[in-house]
Structure 1
């Protein structure tokens, strides 16, 4: 069944509530007509959000529910995971805020996998504190990969600039040993499919950055480009994927260069994210590409330094919501197209003949 006119159910995990998570969530949902476009379902605490909405002088009416199935499409739904009072200490992580961030994420992810929400938008977490309290991953991406049993790709996106990173949250000293020809090939293929399926780019052009300064300078500054990256690009290009590079990272992000490509694959976190966050600023969205479920988040952190001051900008979070909805609809359209293409042409003729049968059987 096509979901063309289906109002998308957006699940929201609250992140660390002592950061700016609840503030940017509520500001993103502040428009009275917001529920005309999608159905918000927050996995949080009624008491916590009531306390914080008073701080920020926001006038939200939440529809409190105990199960996701009780959500109403014209309301801002709150799955009330904790009914007790919550100790808010804005500006610093606590054991309570960290445990709640983990529980919210787990509840929202389970709802996503059970088909109770269509997409997941995650508010910022404190990775270090979550690791201390038993969370086994250095971020959302690793957690979701384990839950969904599939490798994903950290993909930072705006309308004009899309940057994926080959290695995620690992020390710089481990980057070189964590790239390989097969891994890069797999990631470029994933990126290519994501651009076609999720962003409706018909023939994606993908730029790949080198690992070393000046993309290795022909082997003078490292051999990874010659031994790993170039062979991966060449092999894929010969098989019809428009992959180009490796390009020196220091000069690539000039508008006249990056705008010639639909996406960029950087070799490590800061190589891709530093220029992305400089250029995209508040519009950027973090999307985990290549997974069977859709998850987005804003491209910033918990921002303890401004928590509770009513100055957090919700634009990146709003963009994350609408990007998730857009990807959901694009993916649905793509799947419908593929399914229709694969349907056998039965009963296509008005004369009642089955066109799949050989013509000589038509008497």
Structure 2
């Protein structure tokens, strides 16, 4: 595992050098094993943080998960559940909404329709189940609307995905990792894609894991990898069109 993680980091560095140098237009990689990469010396929680450090990113960035025409972003991601509430701030919600809105536009959506999920059960039930919706999430949505970003919410997390599935929204800003991941994977585990949003270059990967338990058994399905490749191609076209700084 140690050697495997080291080789993954070396390959990712080569890919990053190539896309920064405009030798390629986007990166699409197969699932990675975070434990192996950490054992090889990666000092970050995940590959997104590794990419951001390598690319010297200082702005807000976030993993997006996509399934067909539905995208999700996260206000918080790979952190312990007990720490989620500390990440729910107006600034992070607004940055996450702006980022997925602009990323959808770069992926070909002319007028993205973005919804914002609530944090608490039943959207807080008017404060009975929590006040984050009243004190933080709702005001953040209002401020986004005031600056011209057409987002809606907060909506209870157990119903907003039904609206999105039925075509009312193109994207959902979720508050934490499993809030969006469980819904997306139930809707289509074999087709989900992760897009690394907020980076200066397009990077995508299938949303599923490495699945070491079925290695060599001819059971793996390639649908998610195909979709990740197609999204990387679309975003790569926009990256190629940008002027070289």
Which TM-score applies when normalising by structure 2? Answer: 0.92
Q: Quick one: which of 69, 74, 88 aligns to 1:160? A: 69
Task: Tell me if 1:141 matches 2:48.
Answer: yes
In structure 2, distance between residues paired with 1:169 and 1:256: 24
Task: Tell me if 1:327 matches 2:242.
Answer: no
Query: Which residue of the partner structure matches residue 176 of structure 2?
Result: 268
CA contact (8 A) 2:70 2:164 kept: no
In structure 2, distance between residues paired with 1:112 and 1:199: 18
Q: 1:256 to 1:327 in 2, by over 3 A?
A: closer
- State the Cα deviation string for residues 262-288 of structure 1 (Å, max 9, x = none): 211100010001101111221211111
Secondary structure at the aligned position of 1:254 is classed as helix
Query: Which residue of the partner structure matches residue 20 of structure 1?
Result: none
CA contact (8 A) 2:202 2:236 kept: yes
1:149, distance to aligned residue in structure 2 (A): 2.4
Query: Which residue of the partner structure matches residue 214 of structure 2?
Result: 306
- Structure 2, unaligned runs of 5 or more: none
In structure 2, distance between residues paired with 1:181 and 1:148: 26
Instruction: Provide the alpha-carbon RMSD of the alignment.
Output: 1.8
- Structure 1, unaligned runs of 5 or more: 1-93, 337-363
In structure 1, distance between residues paired with 2:197 and 2:69: 17
Query: Which residue of the partner structure matches residue 24 of structure 2?
Result: 117
1:232, distance to aligned residue in structure 2 (A): 0.6
1:129, distance to aligned residue in structure 2 (A): 2.7
Larger Rg: 1
Q: 1:160 to 1:289 in 2, by over 3 A?
A: same
Q: Quick one: which of 90, 94, 113 aligns to 1:185? A: 94
Query: Which consecutive segments of 4 or more residues in structure 1 shift more than 3 A?
Result: 255-258, 330-333
Query: Which residue of the partner structure matches residue 217 of structure 1?
Result: 125
Higher RCO (CA 8 Å, separation ≥ 6 residues): 2
Query: Which residue of the partner structure matches residue 247 of structure 1?
Result: 155
1:203, distance to aligned residue in structure 2 (A): 2.2
Which TM-score applies when normalising by structure 1? Answer: 0.63
How many equivalent residue pairs?
A: 241
